[in-house]
Amino acid sequence: MKKIIALVVLLVVLFSAVACTSQEKSDTLTVGIIQLTDNGAFTDMREGFINRLRELGYTEDKLIIVEKSAQGDMSNLNSICQEMVNSGVDLVATIATPASQAMVNMNTDIPVIFISVGDPTGAGIISNMEKPDKNATGTSNAIPVDEMFKMADSLTPGIETYGILYNTSEKNSVTTVEKAKVYFDTNGIQYVEAVVPDSSEVQQATQSLIGKVDAIFVPNDSKVQAAMPQVADIAKTAQIPVYGSSAVMVESGAFATISISDIEIGALSADMADQVLKGTQIDQIPAITVSNFTTVINKETASEIGVELSKDILSTATIIE
């Protein structure tokens, strides 16, 4: 009996705490940011988004930003979306695919700006990039595979076999790998895949590629990105270049990449959010696939694998020591 009373008391406390509506509806706007996991790329996107909003004139007293991370737990994602709707935010920014899907599925009046979703139409978030429906629009970060391999060919010519290192559970990675394979098949390049279900298996997967390939390609994959230092070490010892898909990878030791800065994608999304907050209808703001790329090269890796960087490259690319 006593335990049942304790349970009832607990439920009442929780009910009231959860049910009490949030206070005032003042002139301050509230923007919510939702992300599934915590990693370097997402942090950059978030910071880029927030900083750009502040730059555009939304100071602390005009705009409150509420950040929530599901910390890798999918089941919390739904609760977070419900909480955003509950507290009546004016706009929600979602980072990456699962968070965007969960928010759009809530089917509310709150406009959604998705940041860096690999394939918005494929993921069911919007049906049309030009005229977004479902009250959502945003930025897509499809990786430019063709440019990537053309750059690779100019930096380290003569690659006959590529090794592809990726995690099958990330939709973005799989889509990018499919595109890469199409490029390889059209251009008569061989490739070997090494699949990584978990960060702990990256080392062995990489080692399995050594001796079979002339270069390694890593798509926009968060698991391999997390273990990039290991991959870079193994590749450097074997004198093989690693072509990553984000600046974070190159900073961790990969050789080079053509990337869209995550900070920039966050900033572009902030521009779209600004338009929505100022009153533009969401279906008037087309979703954009970001296309201003920069070549990023790691100088230390370059010298360790014995690649000479010409003066042109040194002047146009972003060099990381």
The residues of the shown chain that bind another protein, judged by CB under 8 A, are 2-4, 6-7, 10-11, 14-15, 17-19, 21, 38, 66-80, 82-83, 85-87, 97-98, 101-102, 104-105, 122-125, 127, 134, 168-171, 174, 197
Closest distance between another protein and the C-beta of residue 158, in Å?
A: 32
CB of 61 to another protein, least distance (A): 16
Structure tokens at 67: 């950040």
74 vs 182, beta carbon nearer another protein: 74
* Cβ at position 70, least distance to another protein in Å: 8
Half-sphere exposure for 156 (CA within 13 Å, toward CB): 25
What's the min distance (Å) between Cβ of 29 and another protein? 16
* Nearest CB to another protein, comparing residues 133 and 147: 133
Rounded least distance, CB 287 to another protein, Å: 15
Rounded-to-integer distance, Cα 282 and Cα 113, Å? 9
CA atoms of 309 and 307, how far apart (whole Å) = 6
Half-sphere exposure of 74 (CA within 13 A, CB side): 4
What distance in Å separates the CA atoms of residue 217 and residue 164, rounded to the nearest whole number?
5
Cβ closest to another protein, residue 74 vs residue 314: 74
The residue among 147 and 178 lying less far from another protein, judged by its C-beta, is: 178
d(CA 104, CA 94): 10
CB of 271 to another protein, least distance (A): 23
Is 101 or 206 the residue whose CB approaches another protein more closely? 101
Residue 310 DSSP one-character state: P
182 or 314: CB nearest another protein? 182
Supply φ then ψ for residue 137, to 5 degrees: -155, 170
CA geometry: angle 320, 197, 295, nearest 5 deg: 20
Helix (H) or strand (E) holding 166: strand 161-166
